[in-house]
Chain A
Amino acid sequence: MSNGLTTLNPQQPRTAAMAERMAEVKGRSLWADARARFVRNKAAMISLVVLVAVFLFAFFGHLLTQYDNETIDWNVLGKVKELGKPSFENGHFFGYDDSGRDLFARVVQGTQVSLMVGVIGAGIAVIVGTIYGAVAGYLGGRIDSVMMRFVDIAMSVPYMFVLILLLVVFGRSIEMIFVGIGLTAWLDMSRIVRGQTLSIKNKEFIEAAVATGVPSFTIIRRHVVPNLLGVVVVYATLLVPQMILTESFISFLGLGVQEPLTSWGALISEGTSTMNYGTLWQLFFPLAFFVVSIFAFFFIGDGLRDALDPKDR
């Protein structure tokens, strides 16, 4: 072989002949083991099916109804309690909302927005938090101190206050919600990841990589982060509903997404304000989607945590 590598022991192909008769064996990774454990978890699998259904509803729900989410039925307006009930005959499966629009189409739209906030918000938090925490934990020393003190300071600011201030000062828009949630959500993540990194950092395989001369950032990418992913994945699935809850709360306060956009929180808020008029379906349908989805996320998170538990090796 070139590159100055001498061939070891060319005379005795000890196991080579045996190996040639056998194909390369496919290994079972820890991920494959975890997947098998997850599939055996009934609650998590049912939740996964439910969640997939909710996602399908968000993407393709508008194909199921002849109505869009903007047109106001002037005949119903003002008489929603009598004429706006959910019904299969007229195709308004979830009835009308208080402004005479089709509630089914509105819920589809709200589901899209809420899931987007949840998934993108959690995604940003996970990516930023993982990189930040892994770098701080692995490099250690003064860099770690500075990076984590910054996180401590940022965490000590009441985030709901900052979020509301941002929305009031820079206007109420969905982008602003992303910025506001994104500013705070990665902080927890970075702390968790840093803690895990500290325990992984002292494992012998990291030392082996250092002894070999692998550069620090390659070690973080190749050895630290893949071993963190179990924790990160679990935390991410729990972060998604947390994002949705935050957004819903902001929308419930009337500061979140604005008309004509809507979200679960905004729909629930409208539903509660018209509860007294007897149009309970306006509260029930968005609330049902909200509760079922949040439950599903939590059960999946639980299932993943059990499946990825490092004690089961």
Chain B
Amino acid sequence: MSETILKVDDLKVWFDVKKPGAMPWVSPRKLKAVDGVSFELKSGETLGIVGESGCGKSTLARAVMQMVPIEAGSVVWLGNDLTGLDTRGMRAHRKEMQMIFQDPLASLNPRMTIGQIVAEPLKTHFPGLSRAQVKARVQEVLDTVGILPNLVNRYPHEFSGGQCQRIGIARALIVNPQLIICDEPVSALDVSIQAQVINLLMDLQKETGVALIFIAHDLSVVKHISDRVMVLYLGNVMEIAPAADLYANPTHPYTEALISAVPIPDPELERQKQVMLLDLDLPSPLDPPSGCVFRTRCPIAEPQCAEIKPALRDRGATHFAACHLR
């Protein structure tokens, strides 16, 4: 169908919890936020990433954007490995990949008008444009996201959350990126606004052919927008599959548990639903379990799970899951 634009291979992002060598008796510890994630993204495709808090969703997004130091692995964007690039080398690629953030208001500088905010990427990457050209383009994208272009002189605090998120989308869109990474773009909005923003993103994708990486912890939102869905747990990929297939036939016990917990908007059905509750809390990413990271909470775990870390296995129809037993 279309070519692969992003290829992430065995990406690892580890944070130093105690700096090595700070004190002689302190042993360095690593927090494995993302521990060996691989995936590919085709142009015009939407990849949903789900997982509970602290599983490394946002860190993965920032690692793809080269905003956090990478321990190992590679991020190949349009045939170029981004991991080795310096700030200057990376800048050329920044206009091809943009980002939308979780808190719509906090992601806009309160001292700038929305015209200045939306124009910033354009001025950064196309410094040769005249003022009139910039203004025309800003009005065009604001119109596209459904903000009246005559509000360019207003400040972020004068807009609602949904409007602020539209402005954030306009800012991402203005340089015609090939990929927009949406880091929980709707979790701070109420449900009706969520639907508007998601539909806006889907419309824009249809018009411009932009690829999306859509991070969320709301599975029904992800199901609605994604072509494929990746399930993360403690920095590891549990399952990655086409959206419909993943929701219909979850292979991994963790995916199964997540999907069983999605509320059904029908009180009758909701009452009869069997929720698969997991024991224990999320283990600390400082000291993840040996072998399969999910084994401590897995209802079907067996002794071998503690020894060998399961690899992603193909279950047919581009459905991959990391489990020894299923």
Among listed A191-199, A200-208, A231-239, interface-contacting one: A200-208
A residues in contact with B144, CB < 8 Å: 8-9, 14
B residues in contact with A18, CB < 8 Å: 148
B295 CB within 8 Å of chain A: no
Among listed A19-27, A78-86, A91-99, A298-306, interface-contacting one: A19-27
A212 in contact with B140 given A25-B154, A29-B155, A205-B107 (CB within 8 Å): no
A212 touches B98 (CB 8 A): yes
Interface size class of A (residues with CB under 8 A): 35 or more
A162 CB within 8 Å of chain B: no
Tell me the complex Cα distance, A5–B121, Å: 13
B residues in contact with A5, CB < 8 Å: 126, 137, 175-176
A291 CB within 8 Å of chain B: no
- Write the chain B residue with the least CB distance to A223: B109
Shortest Cβ gap from A18 to chain B (Å):
7
B residues in contact with A6, CB < 8 Å: 176, 208
B155 touches A27 (CB 8 A): yes
B311 CB within 8 Å of chain A: no
B residues in contact with A153, CB < 8 Å: none
A residues in contact with B149, CB < 8 Å: 15-16, 19
0/1 interface trace, chain B 163-198, chain A, CB 8 Å (1 if under)? 000001001010110000000000000000000000
A–B complex contacts, Cβ < 8 Å, 24 sampled: A5-B176, A8-B140, A15-B146, A15-B149, A19-B143, A19-B148, A19-B150, A23-B150, A25-B151, A27-B158, A205-B107, A205-B109, A207-B67, A208-B101, A209-B109, A211-B99, A212-B98, A212-B120, A212-B121, A213-B90, A213-B94, A223-B109, A227-B111, A313-B110
Give chain B's interface residues, CB within 8 Å of chain A: 65, 67, 87, 90-91, 94-95, 98-99, 101-103, 106-113, 120-121, 124-126, 128-129, 133, 136-137, 139-141, 143-144, 146-155, 157-158, 168, 171, 173, 175-176, 207-208
Give chain A's interface residues, CB within 8 Å of chain B: 1, 3-9, 13-16, 18-19, 22-31, 203-205, 207-215, 218, 222-223, 226-227, 313
